[in-house]
Structure formats: C-alpha cells, structure tokens
Amino acid sequence: MTVLFECVHQGERHFGCAVPVAGAPLHLYPLGDEDLRARLLAAGISADLAVDGDGAAALVAALTEGRERRTVPAAERDTVTFRPPLLPESLGDALVSGFMQTHNVKADETTQSQPNWFFKGLGETLKVPGEPLAVPPDAVAVCEEAEVVLVYVTDERGVPRYVGYTFGNDLTDIGRFKRHNGHLSYAKLCDSGVAPWLFLDAPPESVTGRVRVERDGAQAWEGTFTTGTKALYYGLPDMMSELFSYTPLRHPGRVHYVYIGADRSSFHAGFRMADRDRVEIGFDTHEVTLTNTVTWV
C-alpha cells in the first residue's frame, strides 16, 4: 500500500511515504511549496472510491525524485509534529462528518434505507495521536468509535474526489443521543482522533483491532472491534454518492474527512469513560495505533 503523511520538523513542512515504524528512524522529504492536494488531483485520483495503485506509486516517485531525504534518528522522533492528512492551512476549508449505525451488527427492523449523516466540526476538531480529545463539559456518557475515515479533495469544478483513507476515533457523547435521539447533532460535537497516514488505496474491506482504556495508569477496559466495507450494512458507493449530491458540500478546495461508522464500543459493554482516560485504538490489520487522552472542557 502507498502511504503519504505530512509533518513539521525544525520549523519546516515535510512529507513521508510510509507508516513510521515504532522505535525506528524517520525518513522525510522537505515539502517546500508543494501542494499535495493539488498533486493528488492532478494525478487523476478517482471520484468513485477507486485508486489506481500504479498511479499512486508513480505520484510518490515523482514527489521524491530529486529531493534530499532527511533522516530523523529514533531518539529525536519527538521533535516531529505530525499533521492530519492533507489538512488545509485554512481550517475552515476542512469539513469533518460521518455516518451513524452503518454496520451490520447495528441493523434491525428500524434500519433506514440511508444512514443518518452528522457534522462533527471543521479542521480544528481533528487531533492526531498524542493530542487530547475534548468533549463538552456537560457530556452525559462518552465513548470511542474506531472507524475508517475517507478523505476527499473537492476539485475546481466542485466534484469531491476520493484520494484515500485513514483511521480515526469518532469520539461521541452517546449518552446524550441515548437520552434523546434527536440530539445526535450535539452528541457528535466532540473532537475527532485521526491518524496522520493517508493510504492511497480503495477503502479496506476488513479491519480488525483492539481498544484499551487506561485510567490513572491502569487498564480500565479492553475490547475488540471489526470494521471495513464488508462490515457495512449499506453500500459505501451509494452512501457517498447520496452525500455528495448536495450542493452545499461541494465547495471547490474543501477537504472532507468522512467517518463511515463503527462496530460496538466500550459503552455497549457497560463501560463509562471519565475525564483524563487514555484511549488506545490499535487498527491491528494495518499496524496503526491512535492514542489520545479524553478531556472534559
């Protein structure tokens, strides 16, 4: 799989081409004036959830050709600040949203023909591993939601073009939603965990992993999850074509981060999250881990 990520090192923007290995040196290339969003669009990435693997590999080869590769020693990895994939400098040009109750395990006789869509925030709601995830001070019951996140860049004609996927934690005040299901829009206004790595590939069919919640340094809860397109009750192309049929979402230049739904969470197992809990989500099939502390603000 071809991967891109962006980061800041010694005050300069850089990019890399692989998911970093824990405890290993980090290989970076100066980004300079390069606009990765524009390069992805110019590479002809599709609007229909398909990615040309050869084209993605060729894009990365073109990006790295002639650039000096810089190596950050493993001991200095903490001097690198990672960024959400393709995050615009103007955070208002990033829209974070998602779908709820999309998975087969949540389908029943009340399941609708199209899942509910929700808005989570603009670019500032995206938090990479190590950053705190904030929830409203009056949150009722908060839970993690381990999800695949689709990334779209809207071209100059107003067509959202799929460029790849990453992984995220759709932190949710599920207690507020359970208390009043008309309050989904409020329940979702929590920060969003997101991995910095953009996988230049079609959405994954199967993703499995494990969630661990630590409280005061000790494990408080642990559970597993399954997600990916095969776990969905709905057809993903239908979900996305319906969503982007609405003109207000098709502003040129906007980057969309779409969370496509989750398996069961710690809440469904009877666990209740508390302020300062540390949540670790391991997307084991893809060797990606998100770790964030949840804070009531």
Residue spans per domain, the chain: 3-82, 91-296
pLDDT at 52 over 80: no
- In this prediction, residue 292 carries a pLDDT of 98
Asked if 70 contacts 31 with a C-beta cutoff of 8 angstroms, the reply is no
- In this prediction, residue 278 carries a pLDDT of 98
pLDDT range class, residue 121, cuts 50, 70, 90: very high
CA gap 44, 56 in Å, rounded: 9
- In this prediction, residue 181 carries a pLDDT of 86
| Structure tokens, 163 | 């460029």
pLDDT at 46 over 70: no
Cα-Cα end-to-end distance for the chain: 38
CA gap 251, 4 in Å, rounded: 24
Asked if 235 contacts 99 with a C-beta cutoff of 8 angstroms, the reply is no
Summarised one tens digit per residue, pLDDT across range 268-285 is 999 999 999 999 999 999
- In this prediction, residue 60 carries a pLDDT of 87
CA gap 164, 161 in Å, rounded: 9
Summarised one tens digit per residue, pLDDT across range 253-264 is 999 999 999 999
Q: DSSP letters along 240-258, please?
A: HHHHTTSGGG--TT-EEEE
pLDDT range class, residue 44, cuts 50, 70, 90: low
- In this prediction, residue 50 carries a pLDDT of 63
- In this prediction, residue 261 carries a pLDDT of 96
CA gap 102, 232 in Å, rounded: 6
- In this prediction, residue 166 carries a pLDDT of 98
pLDDT at 116 over 70: yes
Per-residue pLDDT, averaged over 33-60, amounts to: 78
Summarised one tens digit per residue, pLDDT across range 137-167 is 999 999 999 999 999 999 999 999 999 999 9
pLDDT range class, residue 51, cuts 50, 70, 90: low
Asked if 144 contacts 281 with a C-beta cutoff of 8 angstroms, the reply is yes
Q: Which CATH number applies to 91-296: 3.90.850.10, 1.10.3470.10, 3.40.718.10, 2.60.40.420? A: 3.90.850.10
Summarised one tens digit per residue, pLDDT across range 213-254 is 999 999 999 999 999 999 999 999 999 999 999 999 999 999
- In this prediction, residue 175 carries a pLDDT of 96
The Cα-based distances of 155 to 2, 46, 245, 255 in angstroms read 22, 11, 15, 9
Which amino acid is present at 251?
Answer: H
Q: What is the pTM of this model?
A: 0.96
pLDDT at 190 over 80: yes
pLDDT at 203 over 70: yes
Summarised one tens digit per residue, pLDDT across range 70-107 is 999 999 999 999 999 999 999 999 999 999 999 999 98
Summarised one tens digit per residue, pLDDT across range 164-185 is 999 999 999 999 999 998 899 9
- In this prediction, residue 42 carries a pLDDT of 85
pLDDT at 1 over 80: no
pLDDT range class, residue 56, cuts 50, 70, 90: confident
Asked if 278 contacts 144 with a C-beta cutoff of 8 angstroms, the reply is no
Asked if 221 contacts 269 with a C-beta cutoff of 8 angstroms, the reply is yes
